[in-house]
A and B are shown apart, each in its own frame.
Chain A
């Protein structure tokens, strides 16, 4: 069977499985299949949360970015897992005890203010929309490869499918469907990693393979990769940091507190049966997430190695990488390169006209490398590979069997679709319930509310798709921006709502607005107003990364600091919250008496 047919078959089968489970669960007609509340234990709930959480950014984009960044890519790994510790310790159990369904509801009640709730809705919308732009970037990559079309067409098809998926309720809320999605996703991620690890190091466990010697040698894989990339003018793999140590520090912190502040993640913990279960659920979710996250660095390093080995035969033979015959002949290039050329995400240009492909860092500051390249007649790097294709192309690069390639395509689609649909649902409920019904038109009929939600969904997907055509960065980078926004706006308000009895509405509102504004100001300076290309205003802030070399993706932690500071200062000069609110905070702090969640619609 040829590759394309196999891909259609496997993707089709995986979707049939999700739909089948959904129908079976509905036919069972018992409420326990819906929401995690009923008879679902923390393990199953954790698995479903993991599927919900791991999006196109984790599955499709992250390992590719780590592969290019090397050691510094660890910020994604630590950031997106370390946030669960904060979530489990600081927020989840208390929000569960509080017993409302959405984050704006918590903020509105705790800060006894409709305005606070509306500001929270605003923060939620900005963060979720940015997140969806990142998802659409990933969806575009997956669909363009899956259908063999250009990246733009891939995004259009993706928009249509995500919309249909979300309007029909997605497959959200049905825990067992999400469990199936997790299983497909994790198989799709680990199976190729096991094959490749086995092939390169003889160790089938990727987490150990990454720390092992190359097959038949006593040189470790990382040591070998270090020497290859340095010889080609790239930064050393195991030590190159992300910008600077300071930037890596705040970037990691941003992702961590952003994880704990993202409404669609927090929402999962509102629906567990008890406070104790909320604590355990976060742990189990992290176990299932960690399986992918500890495999990702191996995928990253091994894909980087295989990519260099494909283009330059001296990588494996140990010969001179600058010898003329080491570089890959254009007509000998493997099938996978041709397949990805169609999408426009992989390009090469024979700059020196020798009929071979040279791939190295032509912007290196290492004069020795530049001299060698010049002596060999190289006139610049000839291969451009979009980082977002690495994970999907990885099994093809490693020449794995067709069914493995097809499985990865199915996994990528599952990851991207489920998260995009989940976010759209969060947006639509925030607009229809918290904003339209809560503020503008309290008398709206249930039907009108539903309609408003669907319109909101359609608008956000068109907007996200449009911005996804010219994305502000690679999928994981864009998603990191969303985390920064959540970190700077929502996390401090929720945390102070629990840990400070005295924090009042004036402080919280001023804090949220200050954190959101300053973060967006810095992000838009780099990426354009509302991410529209060409509207950036870098000169105004004194150039790129002008704030101590901190990148816009990392700025959320600074925004959060501003949020806390402004909140405490304003709180000092305004009236303390009323007695009953202080009593409410005390009751939130103790588990006993947790009731079923209400306020759901």
Chain B
């Protein structure tokens, strides 16, 4: 792989790592591992851990995919590998 290609792939993996970190934190973190702790805090009538498991993580997932699509498009153009 040439230098340009390597840099592109590195940038891609960097973005994936960041997004998957958030993905993990909201679902496995807030929704499961720390749910009990977060349940002490309330969001309206929702205990917060319960909210993350049954509502919050889904909203974050949707946002994550759109952020990914946008950032990935920027990386594509920066390294000039985007589609016509």
A340 within 8 A of B: no
A517 within 8 A of B: no
Q: How far is the CA of A75 from the CA of B76 in the complex (A)?
A: 35
Shortest Cβ distance from B36 into A: residue: A239
Are the CB atoms of A78 and B57 closer together than 8 Å? Answer: yes
Are the CB atoms of A81 and B16 closer together than 8 Å? Answer: no
A280 within 8 A of B: yes
* A82 touching B33 in the complex, CB below 8 Å, given contacts A89-B19, A222-B47, A252-B27: no
Are the CB atoms of A245 and B32 closer together than 8 Å? Answer: yes
Question: Count the A-B residue pairs with Cβ separation under 8 angstroms: how many?
Answer: 137
CB-CB under 8 A from A274, the residues of chain B are 83
- Contact with B27, one of A82, A276, A283 (Cβ below 8 angstroms): A82
B-binding segment of A207-215, A227-235, A527-535: A207-215
Q: How far is the CA of A283 from the CA of B82 in the complex (A)?
A: 19
Are the CB atoms of B9 and A211 closer together than 8 Å? Answer: no
CB-CB under 8 A from B8, the residues of chain A are 589-590
Which label, helix, strand, loop or mixed, suits the secondary structure of the B interface? helix
As a 0/1 sequence over residues 38 to 70 of chain B, the CB contacts with chain A under 8 angstroms (1 = contact) are: 010001111101110111011101101110110
Please give the distance in Å from A89's CB to the nearest CB on chain B: 5
CB-CB under 8 A from A297, the residues of chain B are 54-55
A294 within 8 A of B: yes
Are the CB atoms of A84 and B61 closer together than 8 Å? Answer: yes
Q: How far is the CA of A209 from the CA of B51 in the complex (A)?
A: 13
* A207 touching B61 in the complex, CB below 8 Å, given contacts A89-B16, A252-B28: no
- Contact with B45, one of A90, A212, A287 (Cβ below 8 angstroms): A212
Q: How far is the CA of A249 from the CA of B36 in the complex (A)?
A: 14
Please give the distance in Å from B7's CB to the nearest CB on chain A: 12
A485 within 8 A of B: no
Q: How far is the CA of A274 from the CA of B72 in the complex (A)?
A: 14
Q: How far is the CA of A85 from the CA of B58 in the complex (A)?
A: 10
CB-CB under 8 A from A373, the residues of chain B are none
Shortest Cβ distance from B4 into A: residue: A590
Taking Cβ atoms with an 8 Å cutoff, the residues of A that contact B are: 66, 71, 73-75, 77-78, 81-82, 84-86, 88-90, 93, 207-208, 210-213, 220-223, 238-239, 245, 248-249, 252-253, 274-276, 279-280, 282-283, 286-287, 290, 293-294, 297, 586, 589-594
Q: 4 tightest A-B contacts by CB? A: A220-B45, A74-B53, A283-B65, A211-B44
13 intermolecular pairs with C-beta atoms under 8 Å apart = A82-B27, A207-B55, A208-B44, A211-B44, A221-B45, A238-B50, A239-B39, A279-B69, A283-B66, A290-B62, A294-B59, A586-B1, A591-B83
